[in-house]
Amino acid sequence: MKISLVTISFNQAAFLERALRSVVEQDYHDKEYIVVDPGSTDGSREIIERYRSRIDKIIFEPDNGAAEGLNKGFAHTTGEVLGFLNSDDVLLPGALGSAAEYLDKHPDVDVVSGHSIIVDADDNRIRASHSDRFSFLLYAYGEAVLMQASTFFRRRAFEISGGFNAGNRSNWDGELFLDMALSGAKFALVNDFWSEYRVHQQSITGSRKLQAAYALHRKRMFEKIMHRQERMMDRVTALLLRAVKHARNPRGLRERILHGPVSGRYQ
């Protein structure tokens, strides 16, 4: 079972080599790696060149945002299973083999997610972050989160969904997962840690610099699922569903209480 992984890189030289090594050093034999860089000027391209012999395809051309760049990368993939890793994140050893083993044993599953370790710019552990079981209702209210770097999906699910929405500049991964679900994909959750998710002062999550865009995204996802606009009573429903989320994932609640939230950590 070939797994194709795509990394989109733009001016993150401080973290890029750690991301590249975490993929090329995976012990899974049947993997394919595509790296996309639309025009970094901080030395990232020189780092990528050092790994050219271990990368299957390098795309150095401009794009109109990360989602479009990822679509370009996935257009060159040939694997049955796909995934993508941001240039500041890291795949944990054995992640690809574990994901492939699960999907091989569960041919009816289209999308499988594991969990992530949240780390800072210097690789210090902040806390664990757990993917949630997917449900349309929880997703509509922002209470079902899949750790992107620990999520792998079959090519058929990606192709049927239409790929990434190139106009989404804040949560292209979340919209892709929803579009796959709306296209009939079956989701599963594995109780294993497959990646390190990095938050730092320049990251979208750590800085919340796209918070306004995220609010619009969440509103649009709600309407996409519920086929209506949010109402006043939805605030009550959201609180109830948050309680359901925490009841289903007490480990995640414990991590949040002990170590604080991930989003906005460096505001």
CATH number of the domain encompassing residue 37: 3.90.550.10
CA 247 to chain CA centroid, Å, is 24
Residue 20 belongs to a domain = yes
Residue 64 belongs to a domain = yes
Tell me what pLDDT residue 147 has.
97
Is pLDDT at 101 greater than 90 in this prediction? yes
Residue 52 belongs to a domain = yes
Residue 267 belongs to a domain = no
Is pLDDT at 215 greater than 80 in this prediction? yes
Looking at the structure of the chain, the number of domains it has is 1
Q: Which of 6, 20, 117 is nearest to 63 (CA)?
A: 6
Tell me what pLDDT residue 139 has.
97
Confidence of residue 205 (pLDDT cuts 50, 70, 90): low
Tell me what pLDDT residue 203 has.
65
Per residue in 26-57, pLDDT (tens digit) is 999 999 999 999 999 999 999 999 999 999 99
Residue 93 CB neighbour total at 10 angstroms: 13
Taking the C-alpha atoms of residue 195 and residue 90, their distance in angstroms, rounded to an integer, is: 6
Residue 266 belongs to a domain = no
Give the type of residue at 34.
Answer: I
Residue 265 belongs to a domain = no
Q: Stretch 212-225: mean pLDDT, rounded?
A: 93
Residue 264 belongs to a domain = no
* Residue matched to tokens 């209702």: 137
Residue 144 belongs to a domain = yes
Helix, strand and coil content of the chain, in percent to the nearest 5, comes to 40, 20, 40
For residue 183, the enclosing domain spans: 3-259
What proportion of the chain, given as a percentage, has pLDDT over 90?
89
